[in-house]
């Protein structure tokens, strides 16, 4: 049973992802006050647009996840007072981590100078200013690539149609890479062509051996390639294309106190998933793009196929007519094999059960590190009842440290938190991820507070995953014992 559960976790826990890097910016000059002698005139074109382009346009552009575009003066002006309130209260741009734990390269918080600039602009009447002062629009606004020009772009072979009455759907699409040799991915960016209906995308690496096994199994069962299965553990059932944990499955809220494995991917180990495969990159609201630090990259083996796990949603009637999507991914390759190889890991719990009406239900997952690793980012994932999540480490010497604390989790903004400096984690360290869920009427996003909730693909079920990217020494660059002795390396 233990092995069956482990296999099912590798299948089931991979349902959201990501990675983002966005630069911090400052306004063109300090703003002392909104009025009074010697005040600086603040205009949209000269002072506010640069802030919005660098910190907000990623989502606040046409046909994206934000409710309105904030690119032009005409678009921004009606929202001026609301924008002022949101930035002063630090509600926008979204940034959830407690600043006491960890320093991150993609900290979305505006510099106080930028907050003051926006406030002064509104207080002075929200003037447009000289059109010549307006900066150039970011390239990605017009469909360009935030990561820069990709070395290769891979796209779904055909469009997928989403109709207004379609239920939530998980569909796998396969894109051959046709690479003749291994490549090392330095950066990846996923482009849904219609973000209105794409809830999330995960790009998995399918090696030639994995694809051969998939094709063989599909033929034997007479099924379409990529058809989802409930798995052999008996824990899951299929609801259409959605995988959900059975209500009568074993309940393990605190996986650290149980002998039975309840979820996760081993940090630094070889458990890369027995169905989906190795995780390459993903897209979800707030995650941004995958851009690894210099000297680190993820291996994409020769002849591999990418499997796009697409979660499509018509968002329960908000779609008025049938639309199409044809998602693509852009990849930038490292110029040479990196010193550090990236592996995506997770501490997850799939066996929890959240009682109806419970406003603060605790769920815990654990992983013990099998080798020395370096953590480079974190990505908490839950659904609409997710309340908070904390990452901790108990080191071999007994010391306990909080690595990340997200006190106000938002399903609508699922960031990846990129560390400024890799965190060294020694072999034998216990990683603990603790989450709380609000299944009460106090949670305005709660789909149904009268129901018990278990793990499942749809957003009206729940998930609990503490994702992280870790690095290890690249085994392809590590000298073999004989070579090491010859070169004097140990």
**Structural domain contains residue 136:** no
Q: What is the pLDDT of residue 319?
A: 79
Contact 25, 50 (CB under 8 A): yes
**Rounded (5°) CA angle 279-285-290:** 40
**Structural domain contains residue 84:** no
Model confidence over 232-264: pLDDT tens digits?
678 999 998 889 999 999 999 999 875 444 555
Host domain of residue 442: 2-18+145-473
For the segment 124-135, the average pLDDT, to the nearest whole number, is 96
From its phi and psi, is residue 63 left (phi > 0), alpha (psi between -120 and 50) or beta?
Answer: left
Cross-strand partners of 380? 466
Place of tokens 């690095």: 471
Given pLDDT bands bounded at 50, 70 and 90, which one contains residue 270?
A: very low
Contact 376, 270 (CB under 8 A): no
**Structural domain contains residue 225:** yes
Cα–Cα distances in angstroms (integers) from residue 410 to residues 21, 287, 445, 465, 470, in the given order = 19, 12, 10, 14, 24
pLDDT exceeding 70 applies to what percent of the chain? Answer: 84
**CA distance linking residue 455 with residue 365, whole number of Å:** 14
The DSSP code for 44 is I
Cα–Cα distances in angstroms (integers) from residue 317 to residues 89, 281, 285, 356, 412, in the given order = 33, 29, 20, 26, 18
Q: What is the DSSP secondary-structure string of 40-65?
A: PP--IIIIIHHHHHHHTTTTSSTTSS
Assigned token pair, 98: 């407690």
Could you give the residue ranges of the DSSP H alpha helices within 128-259? Answer: 208-221
CB neighbours (10 Å) of residue 178? 11
Q: For the chain, how far is it from start to end, CA to CA, in angstroms?
A: 41
Higher-scoring residue by pLDDT: 59, 130: 130
Cα dihedral 189, 279, 104, 405 sign: positive
**CA distance linking residue 117 with residue 448, whole number of Å:** 42
**CA distance linking residue 364 with residue 342, whole number of Å:** 25
Place of tokens 């934000």: 66
Mean pLDDT of the chain: 85
Which helix or strand (DSSP H or E) is residue 85 part of?
helix 80-88
From its phi and psi, is residue 56 left (phi > 0), alpha (psi between -120 and 50) or beta?
Answer: alpha
**Rounded (5°) CA angle 302-303-306:** 105
Cα dihedral 92, 94, 95, 96 sign: positive
Model confidence over 329-354: pLDDT tens digits?
999 999 999 999 999 999 999 999 99
Q: What is the pLDDT of residue 379?
A: 94
Q: What is the pLDDT of residue 276?
A: 67
**Structural domain contains residue 424:** yes
What helix, strand, coil percent values describe the chain, rounded to 5?
15, 30, 55
Cα–Cα distances in angstroms (integers) from residue 339 to residues 334, 342, 429, 474, in the given order = 11, 10, 23, 5
Cα–Cα distances in angstroms (integers) from residue 360 to residues 214, 339, 379, 389, 436, in the given order = 41, 43, 21, 12, 6
Which helix or strand (DSSP H or E) is residue 218 part of?
helix 208-221
**CA distance linking residue 296 with residue 317, whole number of Å:** 43
**Structural domain contains residue 414:** yes
For residue 429, the number of C-alpha atoms closer than 13 Å in the C-beta half-sphere is 25
Model confidence over 166-207: pLDDT tens digits?
888 889 999 999 999 999 999 999 999 988 889 889 999 999
**Structural domain contains residue 288:** yes
Q: What is the pLDDT of residue 230?
A: 75
Place of tokens 């094709």: 215
Given pLDDT bands bounded at 50, 70 and 90, which one contains residue 268?
A: very low
Q: What is the pLDDT of residue 473?
A: 94
Domain with residue 274: its CATH number is 2.60.120.230
Given pLDDT bands bounded at 50, 70 and 90, which one contains residue 316?
A: low
**CA distance linking residue 345 with residue 298, whole number of Å:** 13
Number of domains into which the chain is organized: 1
**Structural domain contains residue 87:** no
Given pLDDT bands bounded at 50, 70 and 90, which one contains residue 32?
A: very low
**Structural domain contains residue 154:** yes
Least confident of 64-78, 289-303, 384-398, 470-484: 470-484
DSSP, collapsed to helix, strand or coil, labels residue 452 as coil
């Amino acid at each position: 049973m233990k092995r069956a559960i482990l296999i099912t976790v590798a299948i089931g826990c991979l349902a959201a992802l990501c990675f983002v890097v966005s630069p911090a910016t400052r306004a063109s000059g300090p703003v002392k006050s909104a009025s009074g002698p010697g005040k600086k005139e603040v205009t949209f074109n000269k002072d506010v647009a640069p802030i919005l382009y660098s910190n907000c346009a990623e989502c606040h552009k046409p046909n994206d996840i934000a409710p309105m575009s904030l690119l032009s003066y005409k678009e921004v002006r009606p929202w001026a007072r609301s924008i002022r309130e949101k930035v002063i209260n630090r509600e926008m741009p979204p940034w959830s981590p407690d600043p006491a734990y960890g320093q991150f390269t993609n900290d979305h918080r505006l510099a106080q100078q930028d907050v003051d600039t926006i406030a002064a602009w509104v207080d002075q009447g929200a003037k447009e200013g000289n059109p010549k002062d307006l900066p150039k629009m970011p390239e990605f606004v017009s469909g360009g690539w935030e990561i820069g020009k990709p070395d290769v772009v891979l796209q779904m072979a055909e469009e997928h149609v989403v109709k207004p009455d379609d239920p939530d759907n998980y569909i796998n699409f396969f894109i051959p890479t046709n690479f003749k040799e291994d490549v090392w991915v330095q950066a990846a960016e996923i482009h849904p062509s219609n973000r209105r209906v794409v809830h999330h995308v995960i790009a998995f690496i399918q090696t030639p051996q994995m694809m051969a096994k998939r094709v063989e199994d599909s033929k034997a069962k007479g099924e379409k390639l990529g058809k989802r299965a409930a798995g052999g553990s008996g824990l899951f059932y299929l609801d259409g294309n959605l995988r959900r944990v059975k209500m009568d499955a074993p309940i393990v809220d605190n996986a650290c106190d149980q002998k039975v494995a309840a979820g996760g991917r081993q940090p630094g180990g070889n458990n890369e998933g027995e169905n989906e495969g190795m995780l390459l990159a993903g897209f979800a609201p707030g995650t941004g793009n995958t851009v690894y630090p210099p000297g680190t990259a993820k291996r994409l083996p020769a002849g591999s196929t990418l499997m796009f796990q697409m979660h499509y949603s018509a968002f329960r009637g908000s779609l008025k007519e049938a639309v199409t999507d044809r998602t693509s991914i852009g990849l930038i390759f490292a110029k040479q094999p990196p010193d550090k190889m990236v592996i995506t890991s997770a501490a997850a719990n799939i066996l929890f059960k959240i009682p109806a009406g419970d406003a603060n239900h605790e769920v815990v997952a654990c992983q013990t590190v099998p080798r020395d690793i370096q953590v480079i980012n974190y990505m908490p994932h839950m659904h609409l009842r997710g309340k908070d999540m904390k990452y901790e480490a108990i080191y071999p010497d007994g010391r306990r440290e909080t690595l990340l604390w997200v006190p106000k989790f938002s399903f609508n903004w699922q960031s990846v938190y990129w560390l400024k400096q890799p965190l060294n984690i020694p072999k034998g360290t216990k990683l603990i991820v603790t989450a709380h869920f609000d299944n009460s009427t106090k949670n305005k996003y709660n789909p149904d507070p009268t129901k018990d909730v278990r793990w499942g693909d749809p957003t009206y079920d729940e998930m609990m995953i503490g994702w992280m990217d870790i690095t290890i020494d690249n085994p392809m660059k590590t000298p073999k014992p004989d070579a090491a002795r010859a070169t004097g390396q140990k």
